[in-house]
Structure 1
């Protein structure tokens, strides 16, 4: 990078060191924003470690650590002899019509590639009839009222319905312990903003939901993979998906669930129990929330439960929630009020109506998902017998391992054959699982067959090599 460009980068970094936390995390956080916003475009060279360190008046180790972290996330590529560059994006439509680079996290939503099956977005496309009926009921209920929706904690009717829902699952809950959010992703973002400071450690499983990893990284946290036993190290926050885990559909045994709750209580670690897919167990039984595994069936106050209707009902139903101790809900509500005075009222009233028909909606969705899961597994075994995977026990996705090569490179070949797949590095806090990918089974059987046929054609032409590219397509 020449002197002029170095000056430009320093100007773009601005007051990057003015926040709290280790300098390398603050530098990585600012560079991450510049990359994700397209200000630093694909293939843009970044200054050598020593050059940037000297210009920023920091130790070389600060720059090296920041670059290494961004490399783990797939945002930069570092090669000896050729330096550090922003990761290339060999995907279509990386710029908007006005020439502004699109955020790579959003490109498959903002600019869907023509004729490509998106296996990157695991959200149901086919809402049930019950949802439309719930909206009709909600509209009738709303008519004649003057509810403006300025309720940061959520609509009272929905908070009461969610409290009843958790009581029925063995976790005593009052409406004051419920906060409604615009989807589970907002819930994770609010919790991270409140509980995590720059430089704090967040403990997660691996693999895990990449949307959570992004929220933690943007808070300049140090994200570490681990097991429940590592709660002994007292991280600032822990994040687990015990039921129908995204990406592999695993279900944590009750004994381990109880151990997880006990460790969170013993070491006073806030623990997020992500239950977004909890109602999608193929057994037809939904385990109790982790917070219900306290001594004598009491609740564990350190456990914060996050839920949503977007996976059970429809991806476009942006209604999620947080179940937590009332003081924490109050703090979260004050934080949300700064940015968002409240969610859309009609959707919240429809969600309350849907909760009354939960058994009906769940049984239909699980029946459909189980059939599509079995179909996808059968197709993979027949067409791609060298690929390995474990059948899911719930949820919407399976976790597949290639026998050779990295999925970053295979994903480009698959895209040219009409299928977009999310590489496994996105699901690992340290950028591991390079040979894995997540496949969802939300499409009807004929579309799943077509996707597998295209994947098989791509695999037949894949030699296990290829240039690695950014994995940050939208993955939910």
Structure 2
């Protein structure tokens, strides 16, 4: 198969700031994501592309390696470099299972159970009640076109009050309402990063954050859970920002102690490194747990993001950013370029929900579904390592052999979409893992384990992946 004519499609890829390999990878990433470089396409060899672009071969090798680590391309001796996905023979080869887009209507197969997007599938009665309560307010609106780039004042006040109730003194001018937590991450990445900037992330972590940072052509550096080694990494790498999920971490479910939170927050402030604290899973504790203190208590360098998508319903696209007022002003200007404001009825309803989040009884149902899934897994797949957690929405499962990516393809052929660990870990140390969420109904979790068991019995890992890769300390 003749390699695709890539150099002509790249255009002015080298315009911008940052290392050349990062800029080249960013342009190729865009071509792949936009479908201009189709799945299975054969890319030029390193030397050929380097000659066509008049750059050193190491630039192309580094760009290819960055894309390979993201799962966007595959590189195998004898078969060349290809865009990940359907090869020319029509078979699936190393195609990454996309955690964001597999739930889209265009790709949805009614025969496939989706165990990827960890969000409640059933909106609680409280949501409909909140909408019913705002009807009088909607009827009274007059002379208001509904454009609020910062978010509706009623909701900003409700969010600020909730932070104050949890020990973080906050005023409404420190709050920006967004269309979910993902938009919050994208706005922050766009505002704070330039191409080539380094971002410190946990390995593994939430894949949507990795994509937001990559979209800005950032270079991701993985640290162990809790950003262990953060002080040394800040000193040696001078990152543009850092990102952490301190409470019921996605995907491991870990919770950082108050001492570690304080240390991270103060180290970030001392180094003048923005530290994003993702609080989206923070309300997902099981019975008997208490909500840990937010990291923003310890330092103004901490930027907090939150969302109602995990605690209320994924379809309620309400999120927020808590930061300094000057940064909120900057973010609001950026948002207004793309979005003059969110849905006003949804924000008015959300104001009621935010005020009543602590009364929303999530804990018992979360633990019941966690216990149901974990019990079935330990019974039917006893060789799998399934740690117990105290809150969150996912199980971080280690396979006894093989790798998560190839097993995810086997599972998909048996009617179950799961998320392989490789897409959540920039260090490459999570290949033996898969992420399974337990937010589905019990009968759906039971069927998922049936399909997992059948898939595991049929699974034959690639010859070079029989033994899991040993962990490497970074």
Same fold flag (TM > 0.5): yes
Matched residue SS, 2:303: strand
In the alignment, which of 273, 290, 302 is matched to residue 285 of structure 1? 290
Partner Cα distance (2:176, 2:65) in 1:
37
**Judging changes above 3 Å, is the alpha-carbon distance between structure 1 residues 104 and 126 closer, same or farther for their aligned structure 2 residues?**
closer
Q: Is the 8 A contact 2:378 2:386 kept in 1?
A: no
Give distance in 2, aligned partners of 1:263 and 1:79.
Answer: 42
- Alpha-carbon deviations, 1:63-83, whole Å to 9, x = none? 000000011011111112222
1:466 shift after superposition: 7.5
Alignment-derived partner of residue 473 in structure 1: none
Give the number of equivalent residue pairs: 448
CA 1:433–1:331: 2 relative to 1, 3 Å = same
CA distance in 1, matches of 2:316, 2:154: 17
Check whether the contact 1:203–1:223 (CA below 8 A) recurs between aligned residues. yes
| 1:48-63 superposed matches below 5 A | 48-63=45-60
Aligned to 1:232: 235
CA distance in 2, matches of 1:69, 1:87: 13
Corresponding residue for 2:468? none
Q: Which residue of 2 aligns with 1:64?
A: 61
Q: Which residue in 2 is equivalent to 1:376?
A: 373
1:44-443 pair list within 5 angstroms? 44-89=41-86, 106-109=101-104, 110-146=106-142, 147-226=144-223, 227=228, 228-229=230-231, 230-233=233-236, 234-282=238-286, 283-293=288-298, 300-361=299-360, 364-443=361-440
Distance 1:337 1:151 in 2: 9
Question: 1:395 & 1:140 partners in 2: Cα distance?
Answer: 36
What 5-or-longer segments of structure 1 have no aligned partner? Answer: 95-101, 294-299, 469-476
Q: Is the 8 A contact 2:43 2:81 kept in 1?
A: yes
Q: Secondary structure at the match of 1:272?
A: strand
1:125-159 deviation per Cα after TM superposition (whole angstroms, max 9, x unaligned): 11111110101112321212033221111000000
How big is the alpha-carbon RMSD for the aligned residues of Structure 1 and Structure 2? 2.0
Alignment partner of 1:33 is 2:30: yes
- Tell which has more relative contact order, 1 or 2 (C-alpha 8 A, sep 6+): 1
Q: Cα distance, 1:467 vs. partner? A: 10
Counterpart secondary structure, 2:456 = helix
User: What secondary structure, in the 3-state scheme, does the structure 1 residue paired with 2:397 have?
Assistant: strand
Report the alpha carbon displacement of residue 255 of structure 1 after superposing the two structures with TM: 1.2
| TM-superposed deviation, 1:413 | 1.3
Greater shift, 80-89 or 174-183, is seen at 80-89
SS at 2:40 equivalent = coil
What's the offset of the Cα at 1:430? 3.2
8 Å CA contact 2:253–2:390 kept in 1: the answer is yes
The CA deviation at 1:104 is 9.1
Q: Show CA shifts across 1:413-463 (max 9, x none).
A: 111211111100111123431110100001121211111111011111112
Contact 2:289 2:390 in 1 (8 A): no
Task: Give distance in 2, aligned partners of 1:118 and 1:405.
Answer: 22
